[in-house]
Amino acid sequence: MDREIYGRMREVEDRHWWFRGRRGIVTQMLEELGLPPNCAVLDAGCGTGGNLDLLSAFGPTTGMEADDEALAFASERRGRAVVVKGHLPDGMPDFGHQFDLVVLLDVLEHIGPDSESLSALRTVMKPGAFVLITVPAFAFLWSKHDELHHHKRRYVKSSLQRVIAGAGLQTIRVTYFNTVLFPLIAAVRLKESLFPGSDTMRELTVPGAGINGILESVLRMESRLLHRMGLPFGVSLLAVARNPG
């Protein structure tokens, strides 16, 4: 991604409704997995480090990041986590151990060889280990936002499942999320496609406190729904898979 985006992301990721809401959904999903005590966690593509505290609550966490600027931000805020440089699929460091959980939060869409990248991660996963993935959904939502963030693709359930299967992993669950706001966000994406001069950086600006709180509460409500059911469409996809060993 562009340097400006990493800087803006670092500024807002603790407060912005999207990052806070996604962390709530991820937490809900992880709590349901029955992870082992002192779970060894890899945040593959940890970006500026906004999820390291969340993941460290489940066990000793390692963040891996390819971009030097993002890595510097992550190193500043790593807390209890270890942060190392590495990239997928063929530039992973020697971690010295295997992981119980691998997390890729809006990472896979940035990588050309996506299935190969999951295959590489599988080599550092214990038998029975989990991987949790979030990615953007639906190609028709492609806009300047995706180009600015250097995305390679957006996914649907079937395409993400094929990528997971191609890596030799077993899908446990796939669901869309960010469903309630889908019509609004789809309209914004369409506007960006029709009027490319629009301000595509506004999504990394924290709205006023009231609006920010309402939008976050929408994702938190979806988190409660996801505890009981999958959602049929949404701006994003979430998948949980397991290494069969």
Each residue's pLDDT tens digit, 41-54: 999 999 999 999 99
pTM: 0.94
Tell me which range, 73-77, 79-83, 112-116, 145-149, is most confidently predicted by mean pLDDT.
Answer: 112-116
The pLDDT, as a whole number, for residue 79 is 86
| Residue ranges of domains in the chain | 3-242
Q: Any idea how long the chain is?
A: 245
Give CA separation, 177 vs 32, 136, 174, in Å. 17, 10, 10
User: Among residues of the chain, what percentage have pLDDT more than 90?
Assistant: 82
* 3-242 carries CATH number 3.40.50.150: yes
Q: In the predicted model, what is the mean pLDDT of residues 152-160?
A: 98
% the chain with pLDDT above 70: 96
Of the candidates 51, 59, 52, the one whose C-alpha atom is nearest the C-alpha of residue 21 is 51
| CA neighbor of 137 nearest in space, from 184, 200, 173, 182 | 182
Which three-class secondary structure string do you get for 11-48? HHCCCCHHHHHHHHHHHHHHHCCCCCCCCCEEEECCCC
Phi, then psi, of 244 in degrees rounded to 5: -70, -10
